[in-house]
A = this chain, B = another copy of it.
Amino acid sequence: MKIYDISMDIHEDMTVYKNKEEKKPRITVVQDHKTGSSYTSYITMEMHTGTHIDAPLHMIDGGSTMELYDLEKFVRKCKVFDFTNVEDKITEELLQQKNVEKDDFILLKTRNSFVEDFDFQFVYLEKSGAAYLKDVGIAGVGIDALGIERDQAGHETHKALLNQGIIIMEGLRLKEVTEGEYILFAAPLKIRNVEAAPTRALLMEGIPIDSFK
């Protein structure tokens, strides 16, 4: 059994979307061992901090919140696809070269996984790719960028996926993972009535994969 941690570290100087200062988490120690008998801290974080899951409400007016998703969607087989040779965007044409099947949860490994700072030209899932994944009928898609799309004014990638209840996972770190099939564990924090939630995402190998859906 081997576990791959595919999550970002959360801390005050972590990489955030477009380097916006207000998106950095803040950690506040309210009591330590000098001022009390225990050490206690708080965190203030955007729901989209680090590795996280989006719900439809994020991009769709009146869309569902995180309660929409059954836990089974986060504990299951998944496929990692290697797109590290792609410079700009993942299109329908590129996805057609992989074995994408109905109900798959797919993770897109790109050159983003090798960049620590925010890259304004990060590799993204282009709208033709999102439309293709919707037509195939996948269950979820994850990417190693803090956004699944950029430079698409209508957020077409998010909307095509979220309108179908297809899970979007952002902020993955896939440098150590090679293309193949794994078990994904990525159940997000159980925050009620919100448009997204942070998660600790793991991949596992060496356990019988057919025990999982």
Complex Cα distance, B57 from A39, in Å, reads 7
Contact A189 B1 (CB under 8 A): no
A135 to chain B, nearest CB (A): 24
Q: Which of B11, B200, B207 contacts A199 (CB 8 A)?
A: B200
Question: Which of the segments A42-50, A97-105, A117-125 contacts the partner chain?
Answer: A42-50
Copies in the complex: 2
Partner of A75 from the list B3, B61, B198 (CB cut-off 8 Å) is: B3
- Which one of B44, B58, B187, B200 lies within 8 Å of A43 (CB-CB)? B44
A86 contacts B by Cβ under 8 Å: no
Q: Which residue of B lies closest to A187 (CB)?
A: B200
Residues of chain B lying within 8 A (CB to CB) of residue A72: 3
The residues in A between 105 and 158 inclusive whose CB is less than 8 angstroms from any CB of B are 155
The count of residues in chain A whose C-beta lies closer than 8 Å to any C-beta of chain B is: 57
Of the residues B40, B46, B62, B193, contact of A195 by C-beta under 8 Å: B40
Chain B residues lying within 8 Å of A85, measured Cβ to Cβ, are: none
Given known pairs A1-B211, A187-B185, the reply for A38 and B7 (CB within 8 Å) is no
Contact with B along A47-64 (1 / 0, CB 8 A): 110110000011111110
Q: Is the CB of B11 within 8 A of A40?
A: no
C-alpha gap A50/B200 in the complex (Å) = 16
Chain A interface (Cβ within 8 Å of chain B)?
A: 1, 3, 5, 7-11, 27, 33, 37-48, 50-51, 57-63, 71-72, 75, 155, 185, 187-196, 198-200, 202, 204, 206-208, 211-213
Q: Which 3 A-B pairs have the closest CB atoms?
A: A33-B61, A207-B211, A11-B192
A43-B43, A187-B202, A189-B200 given; name 10 further pairs at CB < 8 Å.
Answer: A1-B213, A3-B71, A9-B190, A10-B191, A10-B192, A43-B191, A43-B194, A188-B200, A206-B211, A207-B212
